[in-house]
Amino acid sequence: MDEVLASVAETIKNFAVIYLVDITEVPDFNTMYELYDPSTVMFFFRNKHIMIDLGTGNNNKINWALKDKQEFIDIIETVYRGARKGRGLVIAPKDYSTKYRY
């Protein structure tokens, strides 16, 4: 996931910024956002948490590694467009539920 984040940073620099946070050094939000996975991606827009419906039941975050750069860029673009319209919950461009292989 680190490679995907680093590789898309230049592409999405006009509408998104990626921050890496070590949850052991900054434990303030660990219980609020249930941060305990090795890799978690969350979205914020103007200091507001943006939820995304990925079909997994957990709308707060992505807690698995995405390997496809373009797929991650599509998710970020969808979140950005939905957040600009004032939506607190954005629908993902693809269903990531367990009944589909991803």
Q: Indicate which CATH number applies to the domain containing 45.
A: 3.40.30.10
Has residue 101 been placed in a domain? no
> 26 lies in which domain range?
2-91
Q: What is the pTM of this model?
A: 0.85
Has residue 48 been placed in a domain? yes
Nearest to 74 by CA among 82, 63, 86, 84: 82
Q: What is the pLDDT of residues 5-33, one digit of tens each?
A: 999 999 999 999 999 888 888 888 888 88
Say if residue 2's pLDDT is above 60: yes
Has residue 37 been placed in a domain? yes
Has residue 100 been placed in a domain? no
Burial 13-26 (b: 16+ CB within 10 A, else e): eeebeeeeeeeeee
Has residue 80 been placed in a domain? yes
